[in-house]
Amino acid sequence: MDSREELVSWELHLKALGVEYTPIRDMEFGAHLNFRDPDHIALELSTSNETVTGWFDELREHELTRDEIDSRLADYLVSTQVSHEERP
């Protein structure tokens, strides 16, 4: 998926078809929803969030060292924990 909005469109489409699915779940790196096909095979639709998409765009433009990547990831994960803890 290219965006969360596209994922929402799929959620509405699945609902209209009467397909059982999990609601969209927002996670640290993006969002996803799960459902089963007619043969009961589990499937997932997902999209990256803006932060992750920005990282991929930046990596296409220039190379980052492993230390830079690890540092950014650690900082990002700490920031998402703080925002989860601040939620009511």
Query: For residue 81, what pLDDT band results from cuts at 50, 70 and 90?
Result: confident
- Does 43 share its domain with 27? yes
Please give the share of the chain, as a percent, with pLDDT higher than 70. 92
Instruction: Name which residue leads in pLDDT, 87 or 79.
Output: 79
Q: pLDDT value at position 80?
A: 80
Q: Which domain holds residue 55?
A: 50-88
- Does 39 share its domain with 75? no
- Does 41 share its domain with 2? yes
Sheet of 42-48: strand order equals 25-26, 30-36, 42-48
- Does 40 share its domain with 65? no
pLDDT at 17 over 60: yes
The three-state DSSP-derived secondary structure of 21-70 is: ECCCEECCCEEEEEEECCCCCEEEEEEECHHHHHHHHHHHHCCCCHHHHH
Query: For residue 51, what pLDDT band results from cuts at 50, 70 and 90?
Result: confident
Query: For residue 86, what pLDDT band results from cuts at 50, 70 and 90?
Result: low
Count up the domains in the chain and report the number.
2
